[in-house]
Structure 1
Amino acid sequence: MRHYIAILALVGTLLTSGCATVANMSPSISSSSVDTTKNSYALMTVTLKNAYHTSYQPSPIVVHLERGAADSRADRLNFKFDDQATTTSDFGNHYFVRLPLAPGKYVIRGITGQSGIFPFHGMFFTPLHESIEIKPNSIVYLGHIDATVVERKDGELRAGPVIPLLDQAATGFSGGTWDVSVSDQFDRDVTDFKKDFPALSNASIERDVLPAWDKQKATEWWASH
């Protein structure tokens, strides 16, 4: 729980201070090309839903990655979500994630975000803990992630911190947990990426789908942080 609060405090500080440690996703819909000699690219789609308190659908702020042992701030990467090619609805929100990354080994730690309807405003952390290896000069598709907030049972990880009590309870993040699945939707997703992001229209995109989400590992990490 201390780590949850630290993550949320960090994100708030970064977004309000203009600190450069939060990076933009790339390419954008206005990009005409990608240069894989400078960075490789990891692509995935994410659908976030709140099936527990349906009035408060999750809106992501950043996706957290750690490079190597994450010994320094430079190895703890935060990519800011944008509204490019995003689909939102009362029953869940769909996002196109584009991560420009130097070659190496990473952990996609999770997604921090919020949801709010006056007078309540809650924060959440979607735990992923997925390991990836980015090869030089590559564009790779990591798969599709469905993450849904459902009612929590005793002992299950929480979808967000307990504090502030009223906000987190009203939005369902303190009383909810995450149900996460990873699937291979390569044909549909890559077609959509190439349609919506012209820089990828002629790109060669490799398939390297993430393994199934490990709730036990996510729960153990949550309990120790």
Structure 2
Amino acid sequence: MSPTTAMSSVDTSKNSYALMTVTLKNAYHTSYQPSPIVVHMERGAADSRADRLNFKFDDQATTTSDNGNHYFVRIPLAPGKYVMRGITGQSGIFPFHGMFFTPLHETVEIKPNSIVYLGHVDATVVERKDGELRAGPVIPLIDQAATGFSGGTWDIRVSDEFDQDVAEFKKDFPALTNASIEREVLPAWDKQKATEWWANH
């Protein structure tokens, strides 16, 4: 992800930047708090592999606790229209190791020469009821059940925490200290759309 805490400036003539914060929690099987690996972005129709972009999470400015983990997401993107498809990650305590997918399916339009704040995503694994999307795959059976990802679903909320989040970004990432950051908060999470996508994949 970029910018990093070691960078002193950003050049928006090369890339624009999307910023957001993410809090991931497992309220269903609380010993297995989610740890994200990548956020998936798709450019345009995502017809080719080059249009399916994966940005690895890092631990810069991250806070972790037994009640969930909080992340600062910084994504360099060329101007254009994207879909933020979701977040893939894992959780494991020996001998069990489970994988999850947090479905976002949010449309994002990135303008040239810009740094935009997309909001705060709070995603919590809760017990799944019949017909609800699963927080992760079913296989391997024991691992996915033990971690709660096959028997859990997602409760996801998007909020505008612009003042607090931008202040934190500017404090922790020197390249953003004097940057002009625009507010382009994602719309509310559409559980029905996420469920339909899950059923078809």
TM range (shorter): over 0.9
Question: Is the aligned partner of 1:220 residue 2:196?
Answer: yes
Matches within 5 A, 1:145-184: 145-184=121-160
Alpha-carbon distance, 1:156 to partner = 0.1
Question: Is the aligned partner of 1:92 residue 2:68?
Answer: yes
Per-residue CA deviation, residues 21-41 of structure 1 (Å, 9 max, x unaligned), is xxxx10000001000000000
Measure the CA separation in 1 of the matches of 2:141 and 2:124.
21
Cα root mean square deviation, aligned: 0.2
Q: Tell me the secondary structure at the aligned position of residue 156 of structure 1.
A: coil
Size of the alignment, in residue pairs? 201
Alpha-carbon distance, 1:186 to partner = 0.1
Question: Is the aligned partner of 1:118 residue 2:94?
Answer: yes
Measure the CA separation in 1 of the matches of 2:190 and 2:3.
30
Q: Which of 41, 44, 47 does residue 20 from structure 2 map onto?
A: 44
Per-residue CA deviation, residues 78-134 of structure 1 (Å, 9 max, x unaligned), is 000000000000110000000000000000000000000000000000000000100
Q: Tell me the secondary structure at the aligned position of residue 199 of structure 2.
A: helix
Q: Which of 181, 185, 207 does residue 183 from structure 2 map onto?
A: 207
Equivalence for 1:76: 52
Measure the CA separation in 2 of the matches of 1:72 and 1:39.
21
Measure the CA separation in 2 of the matches of 1:132 and 1:84.
24
Structure (1 or 2) with the greater helix fraction: 1
Q: What is the TM-score when the length of structure 2 is the normalising length?
A: 1.00
Q: Tell me the secondary structure at the aligned position of residue 132 of structure 1.
A: strand
Q: Tell me the secondary structure at the aligned position of residue 218 of structure 1.
A: helix
Measure the CA separation in 2 of the matches of 1:33 and 1:42.
15
Measure the CA separation in 1 of the matches of 2:173 and 2:49.
30
Aligned sequence identity (%):
89
Equivalence for 1:136: 112
**AA in 1 matched with 2:22:** V
The list of structure 1 runs, each at least 4 consecutive aligned residues, that deviate by more than 2 angstroms after superposition, is: none
Alpha-carbon distance, 1:136 to partner = 0.1
Equivalence for 1:198: 174
Q: What is the TM-score when the length of structure 1 is the normalising length?
A: 0.89
Measure the CA separation in 1 of the matches of 2:148 and 2:90.
11
Alpha-carbon distance, 1:220 to partner = 0.2
Runs (5+) with no aligned partner, structure 1: 1-24
Q: Tell me the secondary structure at the aligned position of residue 144 of structure 2.
A: helix
Question: Is the aligned partner of 1:66 residue 2:42?
Answer: yes
